[in-house]
Each structure stands twice: as C-alpha cells, then as structure tokens.
C-alpha cells in the first residue's frame, strides 16, 4: 500500500534543523552518512519539547541525518515503521535492537516479508 513508507528527504541533524521543527509528538528515522536507517524512534508524551527533545538526544548520540513525521498516533506509526523496516531488511535497525515487543508482519507492494519474528532483546 502506497504512502506507508517514510520517503521524505533526509535532513542533516543540527541544532538549527531541530530548532526549525515544532515541539510536537511524532516519529522519526535516523540515518548514517550512507543514508541507511540506523534507528526508528518516536517523540512521546513525556518529551519536554516533543520531537525537538528526542532529536536533540539523537544528535548528542551521533545521529547524522533524520526525517520526521508529526503525529499523535506516534506509538502505532512507530510500530508500523518497524514492521516496514523488518519487511525490507529482515532485521530491525541497529538502534532498535533492544525493542522488546514482537514486531508484526506486513505485506508491502505485493510481497510478503519475514515470518513473525521475535525481536532480539
């Protein structure tokens, strides 16, 4: 189904690009210099300044670039992004290896991906 992948262009993670975002709830992907997704995250209801706070933490931890979506349904969208990544790569991003919940199975573009896989914890 079209529209479920996050396809926005990558933006360099910097104090300025973070400041340009509204302090809202949402989801994001972090990429390395090769534009490979290294982490999928969300800015939930406990972040002081929503996605800005979450991305500042990612910048502090060495994130290179990001793309983000603002949404109140950050939990389910976060899980959906994990499912898509699992579909495409048969593994979770390196930064999500501690994800403790089972990741669901999704058919995308007519292709069934991995069988149900218990994420490593």
- Binding-site ranges for other proteins (CB under 8 A): 1, 4, 44-46, 72-77, 79-80, 83, 100-107, 112, 115-116, 121
CA distance 24 to 82: 21
Q: For residues 1 and 33, which CB has a smaller minimum distance to other proteins in the complex?
A: 1
Give least dist CB 110 to other proteins, A: 9
Which pair of tokens denotes residue 58? 């990612």
Q: What is the CA radius of gyration of the chain?
A: 14
Give least dist CB 60 to other proteins, A: 20
Give least dist CB 59 to other proteins, A: 21
Q: For residues 19 and 109, which CB has a smaller minimum distance to other proteins in the complex?
A: 109
- Contacts of 27 by beta carbon, 8 Å cutoff, 6+ apart: 6, 40, 41, 42, 43, 68, 69, 71, 74, 77, 78, 81
């Amino acid at each position: 189904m079209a529209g479920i992948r996050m396809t926005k262009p990558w933006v360099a993670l910097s104090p300025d690009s973070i400041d340009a975002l509204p302090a809202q709830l949402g989801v994001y992907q972090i990429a390395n210099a090769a534009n490979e997704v290294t982490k999928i995250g969300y800015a939930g209801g406990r972040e002081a300044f929503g996605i800005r706070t979450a991305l500042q933490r990612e910048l502090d931890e060495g994130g290179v670039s990001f793309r983000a979506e603002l949404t109140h349904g950050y939990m389910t969208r976060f899980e959906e992004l994990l499912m898509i990544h699992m579909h495409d790569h048969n593994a979770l991003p390196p930064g999500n290896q501690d994800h403790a919940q089972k990741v669901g199975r999704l058919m995308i573009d007519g292709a069934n991906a991995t069988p149900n896989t218990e994420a490593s914890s």
